[in-house]
Amino acid sequence: MKTTILEANGKPAFAIVPWDEYQALRALAEDAGDAAALLRHAKKRAKRGEDTIPARVIDRLLADEPPLRVWREHRGLSATSLANAVGVTVAHISKIESGKGEPSLPLLRKLAKALQIDSGLLVGRE
């Protein structure tokens, strides 16, 4: 970086840099500010015990993957462990995930509770 330093009273007072380098520094400063704001936001959410949804989960849901499967895998649960947690068979979970079956409202609530999400997130976009 080519910089010219201007002094006032024998001390550095100003730095003159080429315009393109100034623009690059400004962009880096903005990026650093954005990253710091995101970090502060994430820390606040974590402190309040709030969960965030990773982009890969959103992408899968927008691609119309079965919501139950997406959330189950996001939470790191096997179909067996989820089935055991809500009191149904693995085949029942598989049926719901494949779209060949619909959960009852009570089961939907149990699934949402086991996955620590709002039950509305298990309903497709239809």
CATH number (domain holding residue 84): 1.10.260.40
Domain count, the chain: 2
42 and 61 together in one domain: no
Same domain? 100 vs 117? yes
* Nearest residue to 72 (alpha-carbon basis) of 46, 106, 98: 98
- Cβ neighbors of 88 (< 8 A, separation 6 or more) are 107
pLDDT of residue 46: 80
* Residue type for position 14: F
For residue 83, give both structure tokens: 């089935």
Tally of residues, the chain: 126
pLDDT for 126 equals: 56
* pLDDT mean for each 10 residues of the chain (126 residues): 91 94 95 92 83 90 94 96 97 94 94 94 75
Both structure tokens of 50: 């709030």
Whether residue 75 is found in the same domain as residue 109: yes
Looking at the structure, do residues 112 and 69 belong to the same domain, yes or no? yes
- In this predicted structure, what is the pLDDT of residue 50? 77
In this predicted structure, what is the pLDDT of residue 30? 95
Assessment of whether the complete model's pTM goes beyond 0.85: no
Do 43 and 66 lie in a common domain? no
Q: Are 108 and 82 in contact (CB under 8 A)?
A: no
Q: What single-letter amino acid sits at 21?
A: E
My answer on whether 15 and 66 are in the same domain is no
**Which residue type sits at 125?**
R
Token pair for 89: 């068979």
- In which domain, by residue range, is 30 found? 4-47
